[in-house]
Homo-oligomer: A and B are copies of this chain.
Amino acid sequence: MAVTVKDVAKAAGVSTATVSRVINDDPRISEKTRKRVLECIEKLGYRVNNIARSLKTSKSYTVGFVSPELTNDFFMGIAKGVETELRKHGYNIIVCNSNENVDEERDRIKLLCEKCVDGIILIPSSGKGSHLNEFKDAGIPIVLVDRLVSEFETDAVLVDNINGSYSAIEYLINQGHRRIAFIGGNVEITTAFERYEGYLRALRDYRIQPEKEIIKFGDFHVDSGYDLMKELMEMNNPPQHVFISNYFMHVGAIKYLLENKESIKVQVSIAGFDDMELSSILGLCNVRVAQPIVKIGRRAAQLILSKINHEEAEFPQILRLKTELKIESKV
């Protein structure tokens, strides 16, 4: 059915080896035959079969990308960076949704191994990583993104969460605020823990005693941000400044504020992590810790490429990218 090198070879009156060499730009082929072969390829509409090629070369030019969720601009921003960078090198990504579930995560990785991907970029769905050791002997390089996991060591691209939080809190303190509430994610996730750590560190450095009642932990989702903001606002003495360490929680918090404008006794200002399309329009968040989202993806791609090509500098390697503090001056 499909046109193969064999057909091209026959048409051009050469061997399949020659055709293969033409396809792969082997310089030893004479201009004359190269031209003839290329003509036949064109005429017959030949297209290389990458499955066969992969079998022969043991390179699939495909990497797996496993994300806890697909409808999430943060994760997909990373995916975008990964795709853009890998595409330059002829790679594609197989995208899998782990549904924030360790079992599904394992399942997807297993399938990716069986598909012989050249590497895997994983945004872990939890803080645990023991199940990842099962795949060590498959010899497929893995790069973690955004979060680290326990019981599994590998390269990773992360953000400097501690100093990200720190800088935002420091800014607020310098503005004269001393009672700053905190809404964060589950501290078993490294990202959440580090952002909390940055908050605490800034308070300590400025000799401010953390106030337990205004420090709340949830799960990085919209509803959680909503609920925790509600808790804060229903206190007798609600805080006027809240640092929220995740974009989605921040959206949820603002949702609560907008829905309950009348009943809230104080005016609240929000500082938050991430600077997404919608962060600015919500108007209630004028201090933001921006992550270089697409760059995270790019770096992860570069890292996996160098592992695939065994340019192992000093692995395991952990890249920490800096955040940027964005202040929106109230007009």
Q: Are A137 and B51 in contact (CB under 8 A)?
A: no
- What is the chain B residue whose CB lies nearest that of A54? B51
Pairs across A and B, CB under 8 Å, 8 listed: A45-B137, A52-B55, A62-B94, A71-B76, A83-B97, A94-B94, A251-B278, A254-B281
Given contacts A79-B70, A95-B79, A96-B83, contact A281 B115 (CB under 8 A): no
Chain B nearest Cβ from A82, distance in angstroms: 10
Chain B nearest Cβ from A175, distance in angstroms: 23
Q: Are A55 and B62 in contact (CB under 8 A)?
A: no
- Cα separation A51 to B111 with both chains bound (whole Å): 12
- Cα separation A76 to B55 with both chains bound (whole Å): 32
| The one of B72, B83, B139, B278 that contacts A278, using a Cβ cutoff of 8 Å | B278
Given contacts A47-B113, A92-B111, contact A71 B62 (CB under 8 A): no
Chain B contacts of A280 at CB under 8 A? 255
Chain B nearest Cβ from A136, distance in angstroms: 11
- What is the chain B residue whose CB lies nearest that of A65? B95
**B interface footprint on A59-89 (CB within 8 Å = 1, 0 otherwise):** 0101001000011110011011001100000
Taken together, the copies of this chain in the complex come to 2
Q: Are B62 and A70 in contact (CB under 8 A)?
A: no
Question: Is A187 engaged at the interface, CB distance under 8 Å to the other chain?
Answer: no
- What is the chain B residue whose CB lies nearest that of A226? B281
Q: Are A50 and B115 in contact (CB under 8 A)?
A: yes
Question: Is A258 engaged at the interface, CB distance under 8 Å to the other chain?
Answer: yes
Q: Which of A30-56 contact B (CB under 8 A)?
A: 45, 47-52, 54-55
Question: Is A138 engaged at the interface, CB distance under 8 Å to the other chain?
Answer: yes
Chain B nearest Cβ from A220, distance in angstroms: 14
Question: Is A311 engaged at the interface, CB distance under 8 Å to the other chain?
Answer: no
Chain B contacts of A115 at CB under 8 A? 50-51, 62, 92
Q: Are B47 and A114 in contact (CB under 8 A)?
A: yes
Question: Is A211 engaged at the interface, CB distance under 8 Å to the other chain?
Answer: no
Chain B nearest Cβ from A115, distance in angstroms: 5
- Cα separation A84 to B95 with both chains bound (whole Å): 11
Question: Is A25 engaged at the interface, CB distance under 8 Å to the other chain?
Answer: no
- What is the chain B residue whose CB lies nearest that of A49? B116
Chain B contacts of A283 at CB under 8 A? 258-259
**B interface footprint on A273-290 (CB within 8 Å = 1, 0 otherwise):** 000011011010000000
Chain B contacts of A111 at CB under 8 A? 92
Chain B contacts of A183 at CB under 8 A? none
Given contacts A47-B113, A50-B115, A55-B55, contact A92 B92 (CB under 8 A): no
